[in-house]
Amino acid sequence: MPSGERRGRVGPVRFRTFLRNTVLDVMRSRGWLETDSDLGWDVFWADVGWIREVHDHVRLDDVQRINHFRNHFELTRKDFMVKNLKRMRKSLEREGRVEEATEFDFFPVTYSLPQDYGMFETEFRRQPNAIWIMKPPAKAQGKGIFLFSKISQIAEWRKDYKQRQVGAVGEKAGGAYGAEQVEPYLAQRYIENPHLVGGKKYDLRVYVLVTCYSPLTVWLHRTGFARFCHQRFSLRDIENTFIHVTNVAVQKTNPKYTPSSGCKYGLRNLRQYITASRGVETAQKLFDDIQNMILRSLHAVQKNYCAR
């Protein structure tokens, strides 16, 4: 939003944010004016708490912009994202659009625990030598993630879950509303043969801006980066997070981690590497597939969002 006339006034863009990081630095560098006004702003980079508690109780002008849609969690929570992708796939299958439905089958076999525990256990016993990864659906920075290959490991988690659930219900019944919130998990087939660079596992961070869901309007940033594990990939040590969990918050705790290396690699450099090692067509198909997965993920949640 350029400086200019907005709601009958002329001047710099007024912004509000609770953050004190790169977001704030960028806004200030553009000459925008910071404000702590409740509603006297043009751009508000809010946290999810504000969206949840305040957004539905205020009326914003058409020119005001915030950084989240109301139902952002339908996409940003891992369990909700899986639910929406599965629902989209089933909806297309019911409509007879089987080929189109297969385009949403781009993620590993995933179950939400504990509600899908029975189906998970059946699948686990069908492939007893497979490796699985457990992820909390609403946490970041690699917190709570672990790999397992024995049903006993997940059984221990399930027992602990039930104990905490009973404890939370008991405390609530007794009037202790400060009881610990019981959190579910996702159990997902671990990708045992990931593409490696220098023998190390990595994932991608790609920046996507959605400005509207009706019609769906998406902007994909040309730059991004790959996050690498510090140690070479191996399935012999599935408990080693420095091998299997790419989050920087995890990798920087490695004693050999150095800020200069950072375990990051520019997306353009990665594409050049793949082009050189696998060929132009393979690299192009890979990045086309990534864009298609982004669009399908957004289509899967499109009905859950407000128009704008």
DSSP string for 56-72: GGS---TT-EESS-TTT
Which amino acid appears at position 152 of this protein?
A: S
Residue in the structure block whose two tokens are 């005001």: 64
pLDDT digits (tens, 9 = 90+) for 164-190: 666 655 555 555 444 455 568 999 999
pLDDT digits (tens, 9 = 90+) for 76-119: 999 999 999 999 999 999 999 999 999 999 999 999 998 999 99
List the one residue out of 42, 18, 40, 47 whose CA is nearest residue 30: 42
List the one residue out of 154, 85, 143 whose CA is nearest residue 116: 154
Q: Whole-model pTM?
A: 0.84
CA end-to-end span of the chain: 16
CA distance 32 to 14: 6
- Give the mean model confidence (pLDDT) for residues 139-151: 93
Q: Where are the domains of the chain?
A: 4-68, 109-189, 202-304
Mean of all residue pLDDT scores within the chain:
88
Helix axes 151-173, 117-126, angle to 10 degrees: 170
CATH number of 109-189: 3.30.1490
Is the alpha carbon torsion for 175, 178, 179, 182 positive or negative?
Answer: positive
CA distance 169 to 278: 55
157 and 183 in contact (C-beta within 8 Å)? no
